Structure formats: C-alpha cells, structure tokens
Amino acid sequence: MDNFAFIIHPIDPKRDVSRKFPFLGRLLNEKQIDLFSTFFPPVYISEIEGITSQATGKEIKGWFIACPYTPRRMMELPERTVYHKIIQTGRLAEKLGAQILGLGAFTSVVGDAGVTIANALDVPVTTGDSYTVTVAVEAIREAALTMDIPLGGATAAVVGATGAIGQVCAELLSQDVERLYLIGRRRETLEELRTRLKIRARAELIVSTSMDVLAEAQLILTVTSALHEVIRPEHLQPGSVVCDVARPRDVSAMVSAARDDILVIDGGMVDVPGPVNFHFNFGFPPRKAYACMAETIALALEGRFEDYTLGKHLTRERVEEISAMAKKHGFRLSGFRSFEREVTQQHIETVRRNAKNARKLQTAHI
Ligand SMILES: NC(=O)c1ccc[n+]([C@@H]2O[C@H](COP(=O)([O-])OP(=O)(O)OC[C@H]3O[C@@H](n4cnc5c(N)ncnc54)[C@H](OP(=O)(O)O)[C@@H]3O)[C@@H](O)[C@H]2O)c1
C-alpha cells in the first residue's frame, strides 16, 4: 500500500505536549517544555488509516511523526541545529518506509523552506504550501460571499505578504479585489512584490508596514511566521472577515472575546476523502486535516513520489496543479471554524447584525 509521513511539532507547548504525553504536559511549564524540546528525540505519534481516493478508490496509509521543537525554539536555535533535528525526524519517516514526507507548520518555515532538508533525505519532501494557498484563498472568497461583501469592490489585505504562502495569496487576490494592502515588515521587499504583481493585478496595490491600515480592509488573509499575535481588536473594522492561516495564530484571542462584529475563520482546513482515522487528536474534528497535510496525502494518492513544494518562491503552476489533484481525489474546503469552534449560521447572523449596529454608531459619532 502506498504511504506518506507527515511531521508535526508542538505549537502551543503545554496543550500539544499533553496530547501525546499527558503527564509531562501537566508537570512542565511552557518555558521548561521549550528547554526540554532541545534535547528530546523525534517521536513516533501514530499510524493513519482509511484515506481513500474518491476518483480511483486507491487507499493509502500514513504516519504522524513529531519534531519536538516549539516555534520559539526553531527561531532561537542556530538554523543548522534545527535542520539537523528535522532531518533526524525525516530519517524516522524513512525507517518507517515512507514514500513522501510532508513538513508541518514551522518545520516548513525555517531557513530555506525545505530545500536543505530535502537534499539531506532520500525520501521526497513537500512543505504543503502550494495547497495551503488554494485553501486560504478559497476560504476568504467563500467567507466574503457569506458576509455579502462583493469581491470585485472589496478592499483586502494580506498580512505576511512577502512570505512563501503570502506572496501567491496576494497574487491571486490582486486579481479579484478593488484595493489590496500588502503588509509585512520590510518595505523594500514589499515594494518589489508590488512591482511584480502590478503587471497582472486588477487591484490597486498599497504597501504598508503598519497593522493600522487593516482598519481600511473588509477582507484580511493573514499568514505571518510571527511567534505572537499581530492582529488585535482595535485594528479591525466592523463586518470584516479575517482568515488566519498562521500557526501559531496571528489573530489575538481578544478579537473573538471583544469583537462580536467580526468574522474570524481558521484558514487551511479541509475534508479528507475516505473513512480516515488519524489515531491522534491534533485539534480538528474527525476527518479534517490541515491543507499542508492534504497536499502530502494528495501526492501519495496520485503516486507522485517526488520533491514537490520547496523553497520560498512558490509557483502559480504548482498551486493550480495540486489544487486540481486534491479536488480530483475528493479533498474539499471544510465548513468554517473560528478558534477551533464551528462557525454556525446563527453566529454569522449575529456578526452581521452587530456589524450593522457598529457602523450605525460610527456614523452617528461622525
Ligand atoms: N494552516 C496551514 O495549513 C498552514 C500550512 C503551512 C504553513 N502554515 C503557517 O503559515 C505561516 C507562514 O508560513 P510561510 O512558509 O509563508 O512563512 P514565511 O515564508 O517565513 O513568511 C512569513 C511572513 O511573515 C512575516 N512576518 C514574520 N514575523 C512577522 C511579524 N512579527 N509581523 C509581521 N509580519 C511578520 C514575514 O515578514 P518578513 O519578510 O519581514 O520576515 C513574512 O512575510 C506559518 O505560521 C506556518 O506555520 C499554515
């Protein structure tokens, strides 16, 4: 049976370590987990079964394996040390007999986004970023429809626009909307992106290094590699939609607590074809996976055992190819979730009503 392996790692240290090692999760605080993760070996997590292509009926199996580092550790330690640990985790996949390996969350962010790791391993590698782009952009388009925001006249923003995922998301959205803010930390790199996108863009493109411009945007796709939240309640306008693709999250939990006039959705979640059992709780409801996992799985279903998405410069061609491949095998955009809870129709109605009232209040104050 064809197969794959996927590397996960603790993102929220206490919560995620508790999922595999309840005792350690209870015993250690966040700082201690950060420190211990440096010395911990790669960990076998679970076998995944039941994934079946809707197109061909082919069934595959897979494995979750974990690189113990937290995002903070991956950013603090020397790049070579981090590569070494991810490669060690990849070797575990090779021992299991994996035919393709996906890099989850920060294992795909670090350094050159998988290139060095793929060169060191025999098993083909993918970051899963190409399909993540598709799913993120599809989610924001669908959320716009749900909130009655006409895409063609909308002002949107991509936060982390110079990143691997952010760049192609910005390219796709620049062909949909009227005005698009490209937000990041480096003005020069943002200007270069603007110059490149301008050739085919429908939207007016505006570069910014400040989150304050988010107050202008109705649709926000955020995908930074920041270790802490970068979007807070005061940044957002009533009735706006924020699709948070980043892990750790970019949107502060304060937004859901303090702003019932905004729709925040978790980006990058898809339905997996077949009666899949991951035999591990990574925080999603049954039969749902992150888009980056789905890319790895779709490649295994297709029998494409080759390095696929690597490096910081993704191509539109790869994004379109993996999107068609995933669709063919039966992956679908999942219903919306927000901070790991289902978004109900009632919640959407409440957000719409509150946004309308907030706008009325704003006008009255003017
Ligand atoms: N949901 C999913 O299925 C899925 C799949 C894959 C990845 N991800 C997540 O997606 C995120 C981005 O991945 P990537 O590979 O695109 O990373 P990347 O290539 O490193 O890009 C990150 C972007 O974030 C910006 N950034 C970093 N820290 C920032 C801060 N404090 N404030 C504002 N901008 C900041 C960077 O700007 P500079 O240019 O200034 O550094 C860059 O534009 C990660 O959180 C990753 O875990 C999610």
Mean pLDDT across 318-343: 95
Query: What was the pLDDT predicted at 226?
Result: 97
Query: What was the pLDDT predicted at 30?
Result: 84
Q: What is the pLDDT of residues 1-11, one digit of tens each?
A: 999 999 999 98
Mean pLDDT across 318-336: 96
Amino acid at 14: K
Q: What is the pLDDT of residues 213-257, one digit of tens each?
A: 999 999 999 999 999 999 999 999 999 999 999 999 999 999 999
Range 249-279 burial, b when 16+ CB lie within 10 A, else e: bbbbeebeeebbbbbbbbbbbbbbbbebebe
Using pLDDT thresholds of 50, 70 and 90, give the confidence band for residue 42: very high
Q: What is the pLDDT of residues 168-192, one digit of tens each?
A: 999 999 999 999 999 999 999 999 9
Ligand 1: atom nearest CA of 185 is 40
As a whole number of angstroms, the distance between CA 113 and CA 336 comes to 28
The helix-helix angle for 316-329 and 164-173 (nearest 10°) equals 90
Specify the residue for token string 């079964």: 49
**Residue 69 neighbours by CB under 8 Å, 6+ apart:** 9, 10, 37, 38, 77, 82, 85, 106
Residue of 135, 167, 224, 244 with the most ligand 1 atoms within 8 Å of its CB, for mutation: 224
Ligand 1: atom nearest CA of 106 is 47
Residue 180's H or E segment, with its range, is strand 179-183
Residue of 16, 223, 227, 323 with the most ligand 1 atoms within 8 Å of its CB, for mutation: 223
pLDDT higher than threshold 90 for residue 195: yes
**Which residue puts its alpha carbon closest to atom 18 of ligand 1?**
163
Tell how far CA 263 is from the center of its chain: 17
Ligand 1: atom nearest CA of 245 is 1
Q: 7 with 62: CB under 8 angstroms?
A: no
In the reported structure, the alpha carbon of residue 292 is separated from the centroid of ligand 1 by a whole-number distance in angstroms of 14
As a whole number of angstroms, the distance between CA 244 and CA 270 comes to 14
Cβ < 6 A, ligand 1 pocket: 105-106, 108-109, 113, 128-129, 132, 160, 162-166, 184-186, 189, 223-226, 230, 245-247, 267-268, 290-292, 312
Query: What was the pLDDT predicted at 366?
Result: 64
Ligand 1: atom nearest CA of 189 is 39
More confident residue, 280 or 363: 280
Residue 271 bridge partners (DSSP): 288, 332
Tokens of 86: 């991810």
More confident residue, 96 or 16: 96
pTM, rounded to two decimals? 0.96
Query: What was the pLDDT predicted at 360?
Result: 85
pLDDT higher than threshold 80 for residue 364: no
Using pLDDT thresholds of 50, 70 and 90, give the confidence band for residue 19: confident
Cα of first residue to Cα of last residue in the chain, in angstroms, is 66
Query: Half-sphere exposure of residue 131, counting CA atoms within 13 Å on the CB side?
Result: 30
As a whole number of angstroms, the distance between CA 357 and CA 366 comes to 14
Give me the phi and psi of 230, to 5 degrees please. Answer: -115, -15
Query: What was the pLDDT predicted at 25?
Result: 82
Tell how far CA 4 is from the center of its chain: 20
Q: What is the pLDDT of residues 50-87, one digit of tens each?
A: 999 999 999 999 999 999 999 999 999 999 999 999 99
Mean pLDDT across 281-297: 95
Sign of CA dihedral 102, 226, 166, 342: positive
